Amino acid sequence: MPRLEEVPERFSFPKGEEEILEYWKQNDTFHESVRLSEGRPPFSFYDGPPFATGLPHYGHILAGTIKDVVCRYAHQTGHHVPRRFGWDCHGLPVEFEIDKKLDVKGRQDVLDMGIATYNDECRAIVGRYTKEWEVTVGRVGRWIDFSTGYRTMDLSYMETVWWVFQQLHEKGYVYRGFKVMPYSCALNTPLSNFEVQQNYKDVSDPAVVVTFPLLGEEGASFLAWTTTPWTLPSNLALCVNPELEYVRIREEATGAVYILLATRLVQLYSELANPKKAADARKKFSEVERMKGSALAGVEYAPPFGYFEARRASGAFRVITGGFVTDDSGTGIVHCAPAFGEEDYKACLEHGVIRRGEPLVCPVDADGRFSDEVPEWRGLGVKEADKHIIAHLKAQGRIIKVDVINHSYPFCWRSDTPLIYRAVPGTFVAVEAIKEKLIANNKQTYWVPGHVREKRFQNWLENARDWAVSRNRFWGTPIPMWVSDDGEEIVVVGSKEELERLSGVAVSDLHREFLDHIELPSQQGKGTLKRVDEVFDCWFESGSMPYAQQHYPFENKQTFEASFPADFIAEGIDQTRGWFYTLMVLSTALFDKPAFKNLICNGLVLAADGQKMSKRKKNYPDPVLVIDSYGADALRLYLINSPVVHAEDLCFREAGVMQNLKYHAYRLLVASVRTAEAREGASFEPSVGEALGSANLMDKWILAAANGLVRFMRAEGGGPLSLASAVCGWCRGVARAGGAR
């Protein structure tokens, strides 16, 4: 031990870490440790791929620290632990950056410049931040292999994604269809339900009560309430609940007759909600009759606009029934525009207002603007058109009430623009068909904390919907589905070699610009088959990671099968509806197994004020500067010794990192040892044996805490996963007791 005067007053922990990192680099310590462990029992770990379009933040450092701790422990307990980094290269995050760079306003802009040119731009920025990632991940002391990292844009990876999709198709889990989906007008593509959950905002929207005059009964109208006036030009039906009671009333002042749900008169006369004013409100109208909703079925009416009057001959513009109509809001009569509402679509299909295979009434283009079918507002964005439509209908006497509703509404997680719901043709995976298997496989996994698996994830699986895996975009793995013009003949290709054999065309890359021109000969005399104009949802690609990173089944078949499911994965709680979910869906569909055995789910790292960290707002300190100031160990300890490891949120405070620097404790130890040496007249020699037999109360407490940690881990099963849970609980216990960490 050094003399006290040899211990500097100030010591640079970051500099000390950098010296260790240099030693690891010079001796290739990480790769050497992996090499020396070959032949030991394997411990398989999957690293979820981050998008390569930004720099690592505290959430990445937190998850990376958890992964590093568990994987190092697995190695130290006699396992062989390959650790491989990966990159999510496709999808909206990359395209969004290119759209900003090239000022792309819509799909046609890309088609005009050429998909090859656009994709070259996407390809060029994928590796923009890879070096910074490697530096930061290495600086925090995490051991993981970048040299063998997988990329979702590599041909080998994309080929396995094709194989996964072909397997799902052969098992009957793939279908083509129309479905009303959350749709981003800014990005020209539908989004998955779990993507929609990532960005809800409280907004104000217009809420209007519109009249729908009955044909053949002058002065009488149905009343429907809507918060999306822009859908009114596409109205094809009105829907009532067949079991609820409706009322026909006459307004005393105007003589107008209105039909609405009896319990929703308050929507027309808000005073009815106030006991003191209700009597006066009832003087404004008189009841003519009451009837069940079923009695209204088939009654014809005049729509707000006449654009699609020709549809009346095929069953449009009449009242239909549906159990989804409720009495908790509106007028109890739902205006149905089947292209823009999921329940509308189902009800209109069931009652023959629309038919499968026939074109839908959808006068809105891919950019969310009205088409030529609505000439008054052609080229106007639908949300912008709300006020114009309201003003037009008010002038026509078709709106009798306008309110504003404050509600939670979904926004695009990339463009931060409001989503709309619209029917889009697409490719779907029948998740609902395997729902019970998903729930059963979830029970085979072990999560820290357990309540996330048992509640949040379990609830998500129980309400799982069919997955729209197609995107009408450009930079991604193309869906390998070739279809005849009539849609009846479908060929799904599962490899590059199979495509070359079927088409007779040599293929060097699997991106769109290399495939879109390739046609396959029909085996049913239908001419040629053309590929569907879609790429995969990038979540489908990341969910295929266990297989695609190994280029399974084309290579590494035994290696993959010996290490699947993974022993361990870890990511943030937001991945319960993202990567964790897609891993479970694909592994269940392919092998009826979970993709992982053990999982640690951390919470979110927020800014000090509790808001989401934002580069634009600059509401958090730069991780690189924090590491340079206090060292990576202080940051790692601050993160790992906080509730965020147990799926709670952490408001990041730089002072919390600084408090982990207990250098004065080291100086105190040196001073205490030198004082004892002077008193005893002998040099201090630490002895484990003496410590174990010590009567000192502090020694006993330290040993008891350490043994408690060991017992806890063994009680958990002794596996590597128990380390993170045990360490976090133990550290907090030590901190509460006032001991040094």
The span from the first CA to the last CA of the chain, in angstroms, equals 21
* Contact between residue 420 and residue 164 where contact means Cβ atoms under 8 Å apart: no
* Contact between residue 332 and residue 309 where contact means Cβ atoms under 8 Å apart: no
* Contact between residue 387 and residue 380 where contact means Cβ atoms under 8 Å apart: no
Amino acid at 353: V
* d(C-alpha 321, C-alpha 325), whole Å: 8
* d(C-alpha 145, C-alpha 428), whole Å: 35
* d(C-alpha 664, C-alpha 670), whole Å: 10
E-assigned strand segments in 81-168: 84-87, 145-151
Q: How far is CA 667 from the centre of its chain?
A: 49
Radius of gyration of the chain (CA): 32
Q: What are the angstrom distances between the C-alpha of 219 and each of 211, 246, 294, 335, 544?
A: 10, 18, 22, 19, 60
User: How many C-alpha atoms does 88 have within 13 Å on its Cβ side?
Assistant: 23
Tokens found for residue 214: 């009955």
* Contact between residue 142 and residue 65 where contact means Cβ atoms under 8 Å apart: yes
Amino acid at 528: T
Tokens found for residue 46: 């999957």
Tokens found for residue 237: 């039906």
Tokens found for residue 459: 């609830």
Tokens found for residue 370: 């009205």
Instruction: Count CB-CB contacts under 10 A for residue 19.
Output: 10
Residue from 250, 246, 248 nearest 283 by CA: 250
Q: For residue 502, give the DSSP letter.
A: H
Bridge partners of 189, per DSSP, are: 184
Instruction: List the catalytic residues.
Output: 49, 88, 539, 575, 579, 612, 615
* Contact between residue 191 and residue 424 where contact means Cβ atoms under 8 Å apart: no
Residue from 725, 719, 724 nearest 68 by CA: 724
User: How many C-alpha atoms does 635 have within 13 Å on its Cβ side?
Assistant: 33
Instruction: Count CB-CB contacts under 10 A for residue 606.
Output: 19
* Contact between residue 358 and residue 315 where contact means Cβ atoms under 8 Å apart: no
Amino acid at 684: F
* Contact between residue 263 and residue 200 where contact means Cβ atoms under 8 Å apart: no
Residue from 655, 667, 651 nearest 630 by CA: 655
Tokens found for residue 643: 């509730």
* d(C-alpha 214, C-alpha 14), whole Å: 78
Tokens found for residue 548: 């695609």
